[in-house]
């Protein structure tokens, strides 16, 4: 069997994967991806996300309102998220965050939603899952302000922002998650950011069905391809693949305590 590794962020309910979910999960397990976190991005879709986690060993879920969906969805409440966290397979809050690339017009609502998700993470003790795009300054400011108001744990999912936000997150004790973007040929500056981070703060993910790493770039992503991003991660840290897989799996266990092996 290949070394065990975790896909810390994927979307198994999305239509690109849902039509052949059993085969997708089987290929992931054959590649050594023993655990996956499938992310709900709109709470009205939670039943199908939760059902996937309930039906499969080693699959967990997180729930929140994606920042790009905030303007289209009812504003989430802290009480709503806290109540959802009673489920034993719910392991994280989010993904939440800020995305000013396509949806800057809703930035005020995104910031409100983000602070509500942070409070839910605080109250539940579950890690916050952050999406950040073209919003580095506001993201660093809000995460820092809120952490001063009361600590919480967090992962910067699919990290592809600048070095300043990376350092702000690391200074707060947060984690950086490496997606297929880190494996793209033109992502050398991003690889440098990861190389300068402590290994014990690194996770790996696919964000499937998006952002497939080489040699599948431009095609549909799936959890089995965690391996290809992790091979690049191992090179960044000067480790063999098995060492990097073990390290990032241990990091996952430390952050996502409810899904710990």
CA 127, CA 252: separation in Å to the nearest integer?
A: 11
For the chain, first and last CA: distance in Å? 17
pLDDT reading at 136 higher than 90: yes
Q: What is the pLDDT of residues 20-53, one digit of tens each?
A: 999 999 999 999 999 999 999 999 999 999 999 9
* Contact status, residue 152 vs residue 116, Cβ threshold 8 Å: no
Q: Which long-range contacts (CB under 8 A, 24 or more apart) does 87-90 make?
A: 87/50, 87/61, 88/258, 89/50, 89/53, 89/54, 89/59, 89/60, 89/61, 89/258, 90/50, 90/60, 90/61, 90/62, 90/63, 90/126, 90/258
pLDDT tier for residue 8 given thresholds of 50, 70 and 90: very high
pLDDT tier for residue 15 given thresholds of 50, 70 and 90: very high
Q: What architecture is domain 5-259?
A: Alpha-Beta Barrel (3.20)
Closest CA to 202 of 174, 240, 163: 174
Q: What is the pLDDT of residues 159-207, one digit of tens each?
A: 999 999 999 999 999 999 999 999 999 999 999 999 999 999 999 999 9
Domain residue limits, the chain: 5-259
Q: Give the residue carrying structure tokens 């997708």.
A: 24
pLDDT tier for residue 149 given thresholds of 50, 70 and 90: very high
Q: Provide mean pLDDT across the span 130-150.
A: 98
Q: Provide mean pLDDT across the span 129-151.
A: 98
Count CB atoms within 10 A of the CB of residue 79.
11
Q: What is the pLDDT of residue 202?
A: 98
Q: What is the pLDDT of residues 219-261, one digit of tens each?
A: 999 999 999 999 999 999 999 999 999 999 999 999 999 999 6
* Contact status, residue 103 vs residue 110, Cβ threshold 8 Å: yes
pLDDT tier for residue 19 given thresholds of 50, 70 and 90: confident
* Contact status, residue 75 vs residue 82, Cβ threshold 8 Å: no
pLDDT reading at 87 higher than 90: yes
CA 201, CA 166: separation in Å to the nearest integer?
A: 11
H/E stretch holding 9 = strand 5-10
Q: Which two tokens stand for residue 134?
A: 């073209």
Q: What is the pLDDT of residues 56-74, one digit of tens each?
A: 999 999 999 999 999 999 9
Q: Give the residue carrying structure tokens 């070394």.
A: 3
Q: What is the pLDDT of residue 261?
A: 62
Report the number of secondary-structure helices (H) and strands (E) in the chain. 10, 8
Ramachandran assignment for 201, one of left (phi > 0), alpha (psi -120 to 50 degrees), beta (any other): alpha
Q: What is the pLDDT of residue 45?
A: 96
């Amino acid at each position: 069997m290949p070394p065990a590794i975790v896909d810390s962020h994927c979307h198994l309910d999305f239509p690109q994967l849902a039509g052949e979910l059993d085969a997708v999960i089987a290929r992931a397990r054959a590649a050594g991806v023993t655990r996956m976190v499938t992310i709900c991005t709109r709470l009205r879709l939670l039943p199908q996300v939760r059902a996937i986690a309930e039906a499969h060993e080693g699959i967990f879920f997180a729930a929140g309102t994606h920042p790009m969906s905030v303007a289209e969805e009812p504003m989430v409440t802290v009480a709503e998220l806290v109540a959802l966290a009673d489920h034993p397979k719910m392991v994280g809050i989010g993904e939440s965050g800020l995305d000013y690339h396509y949806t800057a017009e809703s930035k005020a609502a995104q910031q409100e939603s983000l602070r509500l998700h942070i409070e839910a993470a605080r109250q539940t003790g579950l890690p916050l899952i952050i999406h950040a795009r073209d919003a580095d300054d506001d993201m660093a400011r809000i995460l820092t302000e809120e952490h001063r108001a009361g600590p919480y744990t967090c992962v910067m999912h699919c990290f592809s922002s600048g070095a300043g936000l990376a350092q702000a997150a690391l200074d707060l004790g947060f984690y950086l998650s490496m997606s297929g973007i880190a494996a793209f040929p033109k992502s050398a500056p991003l690889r440098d950011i990861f190389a300068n981070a402590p290994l014990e703060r690194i996770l790996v993910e696919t964000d499937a069905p998006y952002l497939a790493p080489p040699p599948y770039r431009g095609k549909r992503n799936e959890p089995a391809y965690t391996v290809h991003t992790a091979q690049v991660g191992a090179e960044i840290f000067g480790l063999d693949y098995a060492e990097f897989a073990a390290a990032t799996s241990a990091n996952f266990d430390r952050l996502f305590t409810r899904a710990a092996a």
